[in-house]
Amino acid sequence: MAVTLEDLANECNVSMSTASRSIAGSYGISDETRLRVLAAATRLGYRPNRIARGLATGRSHTLGLVLSDIRNPFMTELARGAEDAAYAAGYDMVLCNSDLDPEKQVRYVRTLMEKRVGGIVMNSVGTLSREQQEEIVRHGIPVVLLSRQRQGLPFSSVTADNFAGGLLAGKHLITLGHRVIAHLTGPRQHDNLRERLRGFLKAVERVREEVAPVVIYGDHSSQGGYAMAKTALKKHRDVTAIFAANDAIAFGVMRAIHEQDLRIPQDISLIGFDNVEMAGLTQPPLTTVHQPKYEMGKAAVEMLLKLAEGSDWRVPEHLLFGVELIERESCQSPKKTLKESITTKKALLALAGHDRSPSPAE
Amino acid sequence: MAVTLEDLANECNVSMSTASRSIAGSYGISDETRLRVLAAATRLGYRPNRIARGLATGRSHTLGLVLSDIRNPFMTELARGAEDAAYAAGYDMVLCNSDLDPEKQVRYVRTLMEKRVGGIVMNSVGTLSREQQEEIVRHGIPVVLLSRQRQGLPFSSVTADNFAGGLLAGKHLITLGHRVIAHLTGPRQHDNLRERLRGFLKAVERVREEVAPVVIYGDHSSQGGYAMAKTALKKHRDVTAIFAANDAIAFGVMRAIHEQDLRIPQDISLIGFDNVEMAGLTQPPLTTVHQPKYEMGKAAVEMLLKLAEGSDWRVPEHLLFGVELIERESCQSPKKTLKESITTKKALLALAGHDRSPSPAE
DNA sequence: CTGAAAGCGCTAACAG
DNA sequence: CTGTTAGCGCTTTCAG
């Protein structure tokens, strides 16, 4: 049905190899024949069959991306960076939503391996058993872990500096003068969240005698954030600031705070983590720790491609991206007097030091 | 390097066909040999090479999904529905972000065709030239348009009832008593948006003599929404309600309204469209028109699979999903007296008729 | 129930 | 510069 290379060769009275070379643009073909073949190709509407080519060359020019759920805006950004890098290199990217379900995860990885993809960017290894991970290693397919790390396996990784981020957030709140700070986070086993917590605690440590950190574990989603905030606000009435372990949690917190008829930042300061797009659009705009999500996704497939195309076996690389505090309008110093309970935006901005103009004292 | 079917066959002292049949689980193999082969397969760590299989069978068990940008939460939801349906059917899905760039679009579609995918779910046809669209038709690859329609081409489609949605939104605002309503939308050529506008205008028409609709065109993003709201609020000071053509626009509108020190819904009612997840998390939660995004994505690949697997040529199908008004807290009747400028949530809910308990009068 | 053999469409030595 | 010849790893008639 479809026109094949052989048809094309016949049409031009050349051998298949000549036709093949002309299409591929390889060396050793006279301009004249190449052009003739190319012309015939468009005339006949020839489309190379990449799967045949893949069988012959052993490379599918496809990559796999497995993550828990593309609907998470954080992942979405990673995915976009990854896809762009793949596209730039002439690769396609198959998307796999594992939902952290071990069975789906395994099935996806198997399929990818069976399709002989050039490599896999993986965001969710946690649920893979040791044995399964070793199966992957044995198979020899390049893998890079994205926003995730794993000890003891020869997988490369690209991550953000979660510890530094936690430290940054903690410091910011402390510098602002907060002394009773709640940190709302997710499951204890979650490596990234654990690092953020560690960073936060480190910040607190420096002023150990005056600061009371309260750590609440829950679901790292907006629902979880809502629930955790409710308990935090009830149990710890003296809390003046909340550090949410990610922006989704922070959104839930905002809702809870508003429901209590409290104001952000006048009554409670709030800081998030990730800097997803929506963080700039809430009321008030959320101060948060920025992770270079797009760049991380991009870097992950670039690293993967190096592994996939480099013939030699290399030791795993680990790329660590820096993070950055994005100051918006959800934090201010805790109010001590009624007077400091400022409501006009202008005054708030001035207080938060948002004014970018050169300070007169400098 | 990798163990092949031949290796497996040798190991078991059977022919390749027997081995093949055992793996595929086809009929006509004694349980005994099948089990023997299967055992050997796991023992040797045999992984079928799907690309070889694809070449032999002519089916790649892969689908393509091309959309403008996965970072748009609306698309993300479509994509997830699509991917789930693909997974359920044993297909993989390659993700293509076209950015509405004609060149990328073409390159993606070509690659997909060359990889002999079973079909393509397309959200962005608009930028394809007539000629290119016909190339696709000629190629014979199944295509279903997702959240997009195209006249004159034999492409199936699944869309939401945008007209009904616009009507719903308009009616809601009018019923609430609003008489000066602004509709903030995107480019005029955008089919879905045009339908929403049409629905809105239809709602307005019924009370033509008293209602003044003002339509503002801009960018259908939060930035665009912000900008459009600014002009709307400046030029039309009597506006009491805004219908944003999608939730992203609405988020920008919220920001603009807050910046003017106006309140939602006390001063301005706001209604969106799409019902993305974040709509339930803003302050106040956004009233909006729900599109069954996930289901639409799912339905699109199910339809595609029918086309891909059904041998016979069928006429294009068009699936139209209903929409639904989700009443949250961003709308109320326009205030006429100072007294009606209610601020407590309880009173607001009562006013908006959110109380689900049986009304005493019924 | 099992085996032999002919491809699927393309690439890649290896000769000319 | 161009043609010949083997495969790549699997499925699938067609015989037995």
Q: B68-85 pLDDT, tens per residue?
A: 999 999 999 999 999 999
**CATH domain B57-160+293-322 topology:** Rossmann fold (3.40.50)
Residue of B nearest to A276 (CA): B71
Nearest-Cα distance to chain B for A206, in Å, is: 35
Is the predicted pLDDT of residue A352 greater than 80, yes or no? no
Is A318:A153 a contact under the CB 8 Å cutoff?
Answer: no
Is B321:B275 a contact under the CB 8 Å cutoff?
Answer: no
What pLDDT score was predicted for residue A284?
A: 94
CB contact under 8 A, B283 and A80: no
What pLDDT score was predicted for residue A358?
A: 38
What pLDDT score was predicted for residue B312?
A: 56
Phi, psi of B28 (to 5 degrees): 80, 35
Edge-first strand order for the sheet with A62-67 is A318-321, A156-160, A143-146, A119-122, A62-67, A92-97, B92-97, B62-67, B119-122, B143-146, B156-160, B318-321
* Percent of chain A clearing pLDDT 70 (strictly above): 90
CB < 7 A contacts with chain D (nucleic strand)? A 13-18, 21, 27-30, 32-34, 52, 55-56, 58; B 2, 4-6, 16-17, 20-21, 23-24, 46, 48-49, 52-53, 55-57
Separation between Cα atoms, residue A70 and residue A47, nearest integer Å = 32
Is the predicted pLDDT of residue A338 greater than 60, yes or no? no
Query: For the segment A278-332, what is each residue's pLDDT rounded down to a tens digit?
Result: 999 999 999 999 999 999 999 999 999 998 877 456 688 999 999 999 999 999 9
Query: How far in angstroms lies nucleotide C4's C1' from the CA of residue A4?
Result: 27
Separation between Cα atoms, residue A119 and residue A60, nearest integer Å = 10
Query: How far in angstroms lies nucleotide C14's C1' from the CA of residue A120?
Result: 36
Alpha helices (H) in B151-292, listed in sequence order: 162-175, 191-205, 222-235, 247-259
CB < 7 A contacts with chain C (nucleic strand)? A 2, 4-6, 16-17, 20, 23-24, 48-49, 52-53, 55-57; B 13-18, 21, 27-30, 32-34, 52, 55-56, 58
Edge-first strand order for the sheet with A212-217 is A212-217, A180-185, A241-244, A269-274, A287-290, A324-326
CA-based nearest residue to A19, from A38, A44, A43, A45:
A38
What pLDDT score was predicted for residue B343?
A: 45
Phi, psi of B284 (to 5 degrees): -80, 165
Among candidates B97, B139, B258 on the partner chain, residue whose Cβ is nearest the Cβ of A283: B258
Q: Of all nucleotides in the shown strands, which has a C1' nearest the CA of B57?
A: D11
What pLDDT score was predicted for residue B33?
A: 85
Q: Of all nucleotides in the shown strands, which has a C1' nearest the CA of B17?
A: C3
Task: Write out the two tokens for B268.
Answer: 């301005």
What pLDDT score was predicted for residue A171?
A: 96
What pLDDT score was predicted for residue A219?
A: 97
Is A213:A201 a contact under the CB 8 Å cutoff?
Answer: yes
Q: Of all nucleotides in the shown strands, which has a C1' nearest the CA of B9?
A: C3
Q: Is the pLDDT higher at A156 or at B339? A: A156
What pLDDT score was predicted for residue A343?
A: 45
Among candidates B50, B69, B281 on the partner chain, residue whose Cβ is nearest the Cβ of A114: B50
CB contact under 8 A, B93 and A95: yes
Q: Of all nucleotides in the shown strands, which has a C1' nearest the CA of B24?
A: D11
Query: What is the distance of C-alpha A82 from the center of its chain?
Result: 9
Query: For the segment B95-144, what is each residue's pLDDT rounded down to a tens digit?
Result: 999 999 999 999 999 999 999 999 999 998 777 888 888 888 888 899 99
The residues, ordered by sequence, that sit 6+ positions from B151 with a Cβ below 8 Å of its Cβ are none
Separation between Cα atoms, residue A292 and residue A162, nearest integer Å = 12
The residues, ordered by sequence, that sit 6+ positions from A357 with a Cβ below 8 Å of its Cβ are none
| Strand C: positions under 7 A of a protein C-beta atom | 1-13
Is the predicted pLDDT of residue A361 greater than 60, yes or no? no
Q: Is the pLDDT higher at B287 or at A24? A: B287
CB contact under 8 A, A254 and B97: no
Going B344 to B349 to B355 to B359, the CA torsion angle's sign is positive
Residue B316, number of CB atoms within 10 A of its CB: 15
Query: For the segment B141-170, what is each residue's pLDDT rounded down to a tens digit?
Result: 999 999 998 777 889 999 999 999 999 999
**CATH domain B162-291+326-351 topology:** Rossmann fold (3.40.50)
Alpha helices (H) in A277-328, listed in sequence order: 293-309
Q: Has this prediction a pTM greater than 0.85? A: yes
Residue of A nearest to B63 (CA): A94
Query: How far in angstroms lies nucleotide C8's C1' from the CA of residue B59?
Result: 11
**Does domain B5-48 fall into CATH 3.40.640.10?**
no
Q: What is the torsion angle, in degrees rounded to the nearest 10, for the CA atoms of residue B225, residue B231, residue B236 and residue B239?
A: 20
Pick the residue of B46, B51, B255, B301 with the most A CBs within 10 A to test the interface with A by mutation: B51
What pLDDT score was predicted for residue A356?
A: 36
Whether B5-48 and B57-160+293-322 share one fold: the answer is no
CB contact under 8 A, B70 and A83: yes
Q: Of all nucleotides in the shown strands, which has a C1' nearest the CA of B55?
A: C8
CB contact under 8 A, A281 and B251: yes
Which chain A residues are within 8 Å of B94, Cβ to Cβ?
Answer: 62, 92-95
Residue of B nearest to A285 (CA): B255
What pLDDT score was predicted for residue B193?
A: 97
Q: Is the pLDDT higher at A85 or at A130? A: A85
Separation between Cα atoms, residue B198 and residue A357, nearest integer Å = 47
Which chain A residues are within 8 Å of B51, Cβ to Cβ?
Answer: 51, 54-55, 60, 115-116
Digit-by-digit pLDDT tens for chain B (362 residues) are 689 988 888 888 888 889 888 888 767 777 888 888 899 899 999 999 999 999 999 999 999 999 999 999 999 999 999 999 999 999 999 999 999 999 999 999 999 999 999 999 999 877 788 888 888 888 889 999 999 987 778 899 999 999 999 999 999 999 999 999 999 999 999 999 999 999 999 999 988 888 888 999 999 999 999 999 999 999 998 999 999 999 999 999 999 999 999 999 999 999 999 999 999 999 999 999 999 999 999 999 999 999 887 755 668 899 999 999 999 999 999 976 433 444 444 444 444 444 333 333 33
CB contact under 8 A, B113 and A47: yes
- Give residue limits of the domains in chain B: 5-48, 57-160+293-322, 162-291+326-351
Query: How far in angstroms lies nucleotide C9's C1' from the CA of residue B56?
Result: 10
CA-based nearest residue to B78, from B286, B358, B281, B294:
B294
What pLDDT score was predicted for residue A134?
A: 85
Which chain A residues are within 8 Å of B83, Cβ to Cβ?
Answer: 70, 95-97
Which chain A residues are within 8 Å of B265, Cβ to Cβ?
Answer: none
Q: Of all nucleotides in the shown strands, which has a C1' nearest the CA of A47?
A: C9
Which chain A residues are within 8 Å of B97, Cβ to Cβ?
Answer: 80, 83-84, 87
